[in-house]
Amino acid sequence: MHQRKRIYYSEPQRSLMWDRWQRGESLQQIADLFDRHHSAVAGVLARSRGIRPPPRRRSLRALRPAEREEISRGVAAGKSIRSIAVALSRAPSTISRELQRNQGRQRYRAAQADQAAWDRALRPKPCKLALHRVLASQVAAKLRRQWSPEQVAGWLGRMYPDDTSRQVSHETIYRTLYIQSRGALKKELLAHLRRARAMRRSRHHTQKTGNHGRIKDTVSISERPADAGDRAVPGHWEGDLVFGNKDSQIATLVERQTRYVILVKVANKDSETVVNALIKSARRLPKQLYRSLTWDRGSEMAKHRDFTLATDIQVYFCDPHKPWQRGSNENTNRLLRQYFPKGMDLSNVSQAKLDAVARQLNERPRKTLSYETPAERYRQCVASIG
């Protein structure tokens, strides 16, 4: 299997990720900036559990990269430590320690020395809750009572107004919970938060965005051929998923003119699984009797273009919040509840059982068909194209 080349993000790219994350954008929206999958961005943000690390800055007293380059050139030219120090306006002891830390005069390299100094400069500041264990115990006890960090912080401020060692901000509580390296609050306490997320979200984040949950490149039901709308021609189908418990489901298909029903076993509700099951089902029917498919705007049809490419069948979508535009399918789904009540585990229902139920429905006389059965009408359609 072809693997994409690993990408290493620069500091400006990482900064851009954090800017977008703090503005409330989703992982996929950020990943689209780099033409990557959302997991590639999640790996960067998850290292600090969605909390932006504070920016690092060099100490004004530390040697700068240009100074280390001058040291390297001076050493290569055979200059003494004192002469190098005078040229840089530094103490000789500063130059001497710099060389000793970085393998001496013979092996000193400016770039390596600068990176080593940057790595050594990390000085994690102890967390307040790690320093004050009594305070940490109080915070943990309140969190276990389902208090929010903001409620805990507010209560501490009211109870101990003159003792800052007994107070802590809600932001510190959140950071201590999500960044476990601080070692003050146990990870299990995350389960007591109202939203037990693995990473902290921006307060600006919302799933009610203009493009969240929308299926791309949809074709509206208003563009469906007129002969599909008035049921004048067979071959136009309506479809949906009927759900049971434990994330179990089956796909239902109804032909608009004949009311002929097909039931399809679907292992999962993700779009790829659903579409592949529908493709397999469509290939069993004559092309003349499968001209279009109308579906609700469920995410299970996000890959509708794959279905159309594989079958040459156009998929049309109902208008938002108008599932009744697939009336035949909605009515059939109600009939199916006689066989598959709500809450039933549909994962144990075999395709043979589904075929048997569909056969019973197709052999029922229908008032709308002048008490003919869907099976009779469908056979007439098959015979007419034969």
Residues 142 and 111 in one domain: no
Q: How many CB atoms lie within 10 A of CB 304?
A: 25
In a domain, 59, yes or no: no
Task: Please tell me the distance from the alpha carbon of residue 313 to that of residue 306, in angstroms, as a whole number.
Answer: 10
Q: Does residue 214 surpass a pLDDT of 80?
A: no
Query: Who wins on pLDDT, 142 or 183?
Result: 142
Total tally of structural domains belonging to the chain: 4
Pair (345, 265) in one structural domain: yes
Give the amino acid at 225: P
Is the pLDDT score of 381 beyond 60? yes
Based on the domain organization, do 151 and 283 belong to the same domain?
Answer: no
3-state secondary structure of 266: strand
Which of 28-32, 80-84, 261-265 has the highest average model confidence (pLDDT)? 261-265
Measured between alpha carbons, how far is 209 from 8 in angstroms, rounded to an integer? 30
Measured at the alpha carbon of residue 7, what is the angle toward residues 2 and 10, in degrees to the nearest 5? 175
Examine the domain organization and report whether 250 and 108 are in the same domain. no
With bands split at pLDDT 50, 70 and 90, how would you rate the model's confidence at 1? very low
Residue 242 and residue 379 in one domain: yes
Q: Provide long-range contacts, Cβ within 8 A and 24+ apart, for 188-195.
A: 189/140, 189/143, 189/144, 192/143, 192/144, 192/146, 193/143, 193/148, 193/149, 194/146, 194/148
Domain of residue 25 covers 11-48
Q: pLDDT (tens digit, 9 = 90+) per residue, 95-153? A: 999 999 998 888 999 999 998 888 887 766 778 888 888 898 898 888 888 888 889 89
Radius of gyration of the chain (CA): 33
